[in-house]
Structures are given as structure tokens and as C-alpha cells.
Structure 1
Amino acid sequence: MAEAREVDLESWSRAGQFNLFRSYDRPHFATTARVDVTALMTKGKSAGASPYRAFIHAIGAGVHAVPALKMRFIGDQVFEYGAIALSATVPRPGDTFGYAYIPYIADWAEFDHSCKAIIEETARGTDFGANTGQRFDLAYLSCLPWIDFTALDNALPGPDDCIPRFSWGKIVQGHDGRWSCPVAVQVHHALVDGLQVGQFFQAAQACLDQFADTNTDTA
């Protein structure tokens, strides 16, 4: 598990929101928005980039750009982790899947090499790999490439689950020739507000836009 610092609730500007939403039976909220993946589909993919791994990387970039998305609470203590691992669903034969645990690396080429190896190993495995509460330094990721969804809600074990969920759907081309994809973000309101969700989308979009300049084969 990554190192974490405890947040001082006495000086934390969001202590009021934290105490309020910790008392809710349903404290999570989900937001779905479209991201532009034209650079990924027209330049990145032709240079060998996997859209699946590119989305994992972009989500990791968004998470690490927003301190609130690296915060977790255990009881009444709040911690901010220095690094968040990306726990993504990986398809397996027979309509099953397993959970991969992928360290985030800012450099795309280095991340892609590591991510590909972890995904391939997870796809060959048999252990489900679900987190049973032993780790908090995670973000949960899932891909629904069959659906151009407009909203998405996740299964949650209870009101104290504060690990954020990220899902992306079918990549589609619009009448203007540009490509886009829906991305859903589900967070615990005790730790994250709409402002931070907006900051996540901004950082993830910037990461995806970097493929406009790529000329490297990462397959």
C-alpha cells in the first residue's frame, strides 16, 4: 500500500462537508460526461496505442491531478495517499473477468509497457483478485465498450466505501468526424465535490489530447 499522510480535520477547509456527508445513507454521487478521443483514434491508435490502456492512463492522470481523489477515510480519520493504483476489470475467456492492479506512471510509454504486461497476466489468471478491504490506495476502473451510455451507477457495499469508480463506454464518431466516449465518475461526497470532478475531467482530457503529438509505436 502506498504511503499516506493524515489530514488535519481542524484545519481542513472541507471538514464541514466531510462531517455532513458522512452522516448520509447514500453519500455517493455519479457524473457522466463525454471526452474527446479524436487524437487517440486518429493518431495514437494508428501509432500502436491501445485505446483501452490509454483510458486507464488518462484516468490515472486525472486522479493524480486532484488531491481529493487520492483521499480516503477510515472511521473519522482522513488520509491522502501519495499514489493511487488503478484496479481495472480485465476480460477473461467464458464471459468472466478479473481485477488487475496497475501502478500509475506519468510517462505514457513506460506506463503502457507495464500496464500491458499486468493486463496480460491478469487475463491468464484464475484468481478473481477483488479487494476485500485490505487496500484503500486504489481507484476502481471498468470498461463497457458495448454501450454509448449517458449515465452509469455502480454497485456499492455501503456508505463508508470511499474508493472512487471510473467507467468508460463505447467510442463513437460524430457527424463532424470527431471521436468521443462517455466517462462516468462516482465518488463519495464527504471527500469530493463537483469542482474536483470537473478538475478530473480536465486533466484526463489533457492526457488524451497528448496523442495528437505521438509518433511512437507502443504496441
Structure 2
Amino acid sequence: MGLMPGHRPVVLDTWPRRPHFEHYLRQVPCTFSLTVELDVTDFAAALADSPLKTYPAQIWALATVVNRHEEFRMFVDDDDTPAVWDVVHPSLTVFNPERETFASVWVPYATDLCAFHRAAADLLTTHRSATELFPQGDPPPNTFDVSSLPWTSFTGFTLDIRDGHSHLAPIITLGRYARRDGRTLMPVALQVHHAVADGFHASRLLADFARELADVAAFVRHGG
């Protein structure tokens, strides 16, 4: 991989997950997907009256949560040893309606919502007419993928990645809002590698994401 962003190897001898990692990475390679509907009523209402754009704010909330948990910042290094990135950056899709194709761009993660939002919004504007899949060039290795299906509110979504069993980063897909019983719901599909995460970790990530969106709504309502 050449020069690598900041990372540290996992100390296998003291890692509680070592048998699970080796089993689900090598003996029984396995990924799994989970699709849920999150209640984003407050988030949607707050953003509707805010200069902040929904997609960059959603991406920031996701990136904040992913960076909070080591299991979603893992990769296998050149020595075939599990390691953890110091920070991961979201790679997101930008739709080109004229060509009916999309570009994939990445945004450096920033803990400050407004700083991240400015960078993400600028990139989305700059590359909305991109004709290349990766207009910024190859993304850095410490990225995770987020995509949006704003045209469809789904109840299930699964990716089938051939020979993708060394891909340890999570993949998140966001869907179109659905409104039921006065509430606004957003479908979220999460695909993870079973070597690094179980249902517990996936559930925690999704719960944290919901809370982070609520915190964004509160930030906006208080004049952030």
C-alpha cells in the first residue's frame, strides 16, 4: 500500500475477538446486512428550516459514529494482520442526472459539523456533472462507503460483492424518507464483515447514528 495513513496493528495475543476474526475471515468468510427504519422526524424538520443540507449532515453523523468504534475502522495490512485506522473518511456518491450515472467522492472527516458540511457541500456541487467514477483520483485506503437512494424508500437492501471478503469497512445505504402516522422514517441499510462485528456492534452503530441525527437537530434548533 506504500505510505499509509495513521494506523496501529491489533495485538492478537490479547484481542478478545481473535478467534471470531480468524473464523469469519478465513474459515467461513462472511458478511451480513441489516436494514432498519430510523425515526428522523426531528432531524428532517430541523434541516427543512436550516441552511444545512440534509445529505452532508447525514454523512457527518455517520462518519462521527463510525470513527467512534474501532470495529468499523479495521483493515488487513500488508502482513495479513488486522489493524485499525486512526481515522476513516466517508466516500459518498454524487448523481449526475444528465448521464444517469454517479461519481464517488471522498470528504476528509472533521469533528466540526459546519466545517465538514462546507467541504462536503462544495465537493457535491463541484462534481455533480462529473463524467469519471473517481473524479478526485483513487480514494485513500482509509475510507468507508456511503450511498443514497433518494428515489426509493426500501425495507431491504443487500450488496453482493464478489471476492469482497477482505473488505472490512462498513457500507451504508440511505433511502428516501417515508412518512407514517405523523412520523418521518429513513431506511438505512448497513453491511458489515462478520470478522470484525456482530449483531451487537451493528445495532449499536445504528442506535448511535439515530442519536447523532437527533443531536444535529438540537444543534440546528439552538442556532448552530
- Same fold by TM-score, threshold 0.5 exceeded? yes
Q: Distance in 2 between matches of 1:36 and 1:98?
A: 29
Aligned: 1:170 with 2:176: yes
Q: How does 1:28-107 map to 2 (within 5 A)?
A: 28-74=31-77, 76-92=80-96, 93-107=98-112
SS in 2 for 1:214: helix
Q: Is the 8 A contact 1:47 1:217 kept in 2?
A: no
Q: Distance in 1 between matches of 2:88 and 2:120?
A: 14
Q: Distance in 2 between matches of 1:141 and 1:46?
A: 25
Please tell me the residue identity of whatever aligns with 1:199.
R
Partner of 1:110: 115
Q: Distance in 2 between matches of 1:23 and 1:81?
A: 21
Q: Is the 8 A contact 1:65 1:203 kept in 2?
A: no
Please tell me the residue identity of whatever aligns with 2:26.
S
Unaligned 5+ residue runs, structure 2? none
The Cα of 1:101 is off from its aligned counterpart by 0.5
The Cα of 1:161 is off from its aligned counterpart by 2.0
TM-score (norm 2): 0.88
Q: How does 1:1-219 map to 2 (within 5 A)?
A: 2-24=5-27, 26-74=29-77, 76-92=80-96, 93-129=98-134, 135-158=140-163, 159-175=165-181, 177-210=182-215, 211-215=217-221
The Cα of 1:26 is off from its aligned counterpart by 4.7
User: Deviation per CA, 1:183-203, whole angstroms, max 9, x where unpaired?
Assistant: 011011111111111221122
The Cα of 1:143 is off from its aligned counterpart by 0.5
Q: Is the 8 A contact 2:23 2:29 kept in 1?
A: no
TM-score (norm 1): 0.90
SS in 2 for 1:208: helix
SS in 2 for 1:179: strand
**Cα 1:35–1:41, aligned 2, differ >3 Å: closer, same or farther?**
same
Please tell me the residue identity of whatever aligns with 2:204.
Q
Q: Is the 8 A contact 1:48 1:217 kept in 2?
A: no
Higher relative contact order (CA 8 A, sep 6+): 1
Q: Distance in 2 between matches of 1:64 and 1:198?
A: 16
Q: Distance in 1 between matches of 2:167 and 2:27?
A: 12
Q: Distance in 2 between matches of 1:135 and 1:112?
A: 20
The Cα of 1:73 is off from its aligned counterpart by 1.6
**Cα 1:161–1:150, aligned 2, differ >3 Å: closer, same or farther?**
same
**Cα 1:143–1:86, aligned 2, differ >3 Å: closer, same or farther?**
same
Please tell me the residue identity of whatever aligns with 1:78.
P
Q: Distance in 2 between matches of 1:154 and 1:127?
A: 22
SS in 2 for 1:31: strand
RMSD of aligned Cα (Å): 2.3
User: Deviation per CA, 1:165-195, whole angstroms, max 9, x where unpaired?
Assistant: 10010112111x1211010110111111111
Q: Is the 8 A contact 1:98 1:122 kept in 2?
A: yes
Please tell me the residue identity of whatever aligns with 2:179.
Q
